[in-house]
Amino acid sequence: MPSIQWRGLPVIVTGGAGFIGSNLVHRLVGLGAAVTVVDRMLAQYGANPFNLAEAEDRITLIEADIGAEGAIDAAVGQAAVIFNLAGQTSHMDSMQQPLEDLRLNQEANLRFLELVRRRNPQTRLVFSSTRQFYGPPRYLPVNEAHPIVPPDINGIHKFAAETYHLLYARIYGLRTTALRLTNVFGPRMRIRDAKQTFLGVWIRHVVQDTAFEVWGGEQRRDFTYVDDLIDALLLTAGSDATIGQAFNVGGCPPLTLLDLAELLVRGSGSGRYERKEFPAERKKIDIGDYYSDDTAFRAATGWQPATTLTDGLARTVSYYRGNAAHYL
């Protein structure tokens, strides 16, 4: 675990009412950190009040955009560590509303970085980036040297946001690291639709004992259980060796989507799947096979995933069997 002593430490989590953010908030609260959540609390972008219900009396919640002047200045000025996890994640939404995606994923991050530069340039800043902007892989596994060929508007804007973070590290000395995440799953993920991940929809159908669709199915993907990702985020915050760099973060060994569907249904004892042709509109922005080479991150931090895909799926399904009403 990281060398940081979290007890009493002022920490900001942007997007803290969302999937990854809320899991991080719960871990930080358990470690004794003084956590401030910055979130607009908009359901369409992943915020869910239930995600923070068990921690709401131990955190400070600021309902604001990360690019809003004045609303978060004081909190940013006091933060020892900032985890910047806010953003719009839907690829199809970005294609249908590109200017809104520009505002949420690019402009807001640039405004936020300007605020950090002015108010607290010594804070430790960890940014959640994405593997999406690599585009269709030219080789596998994909390492950080792979060409950047974003397949959609969201990928372009997320890459720009990452580039801003690394530029501010290089030019202004901000203590920033970007983590390029793959398919993260686990409790508190969005399951009502596919705005965050297709796996959430699959899990909804398994919990409801109905059928979900597998588009194509031969695509190979890798997955990260959310608790393992939280370990990675905390380790990054405690690692000066990662400052100014971007790293892939993977996790479970890759498998085809058909194998994943079979594993999920068999392990859950409910639900079923139907194989379908890939919808033409989605096929245009799908990246096909992808799995990460995260050797550099493991070497820099000592991180190793601790959760198998089978165990992670079981824990996730169990969570929604008890809490589905808050996510549907």
Q: pLDDT tens, 31-57?
A: 999 999 999 998 888 899 999 999 999
Segment (H or E) for 317:
helix 309-323
Q: What percent of the chain has pLDDT over 70?
A: 99
- pLDDT value at position 197? 86
**C-alpha–C-alpha distance, residues 128 and 180, integer Å:** 7
- A 10 A CB-CB count for 174 gives 23
Which amino acid, residue 136? P
Average pLDDT of span 16-23? 97
Beta strands of 142-300 (E only): which ranges? 175-181, 183-185, 211-215, 220-225, 246-249, 252-256, 272-276
Please report, for residues 103, 252, 320, the alpha-carbon distance to residue 301 in angstroms, rounded to integers and kept in the order given. Answer: 33, 18, 32
Q: CA torsion 202→206→209→214, rounded to 10°? A: 30
**C-alpha–C-alpha distance, residues 221 and 291, integer Å:** 5
Tens-digit pLDDT profile for residues 4-19: 999 999 999 999 999 9
- A 10 A CB-CB count for 44 gives 11
Tens-digit pLDDT profile for residues 122-158: 999 999 999 999 999 999 999 999 999 999 999 999 9
**C-alpha–C-alpha distance, residues 26 and 51, integer Å:** 9
> 304 is written with which tokens?
């190793």
Average pLDDT of span 296-302? 97
Superfamily of domain 10-326: NAD(P)-binding Rossmann-like Domain (3.40.50.720)
Confidence at 89, pLDDT banded by 50, 70, 90: confident
**C-alpha–C-alpha distance, residues 259 and 267, integer Å:** 12
Mean pLDDT over the full length of the chain: 94
Higher pLDDT, 88 or 290: 290
Question: Per this entry, what is the length of the chain?
Answer: 328
Residue 219, C-beta contacts closer than 8 angstroms, at least 6 positions apart = 256, 257, 286, 288, 289, 290
Confidence at 92, pLDDT banded by 50, 70, 90: confident
Tens-digit pLDDT profile for residues 218-268: 999 999 999 999 999 999 999 999 999 999 999 999 999 999 999 999 999
- pLDDT value at position 195? 75
- pLDDT value at position 255? 97
Confidence at 1, pLDDT banded by 50, 70, 90: very low
> 213 is written with which tokens?
């669709």
Q: What percent of the chain has pLDDT over 90?
A: 87
Cut 0.85: pTM above it: yes
**C-alpha–C-alpha distance, residues 20 and 221, integer Å:** 19
Q: Strand, helix or coil at 189?
A: coil
Domain boundaries, the chain: 10-326
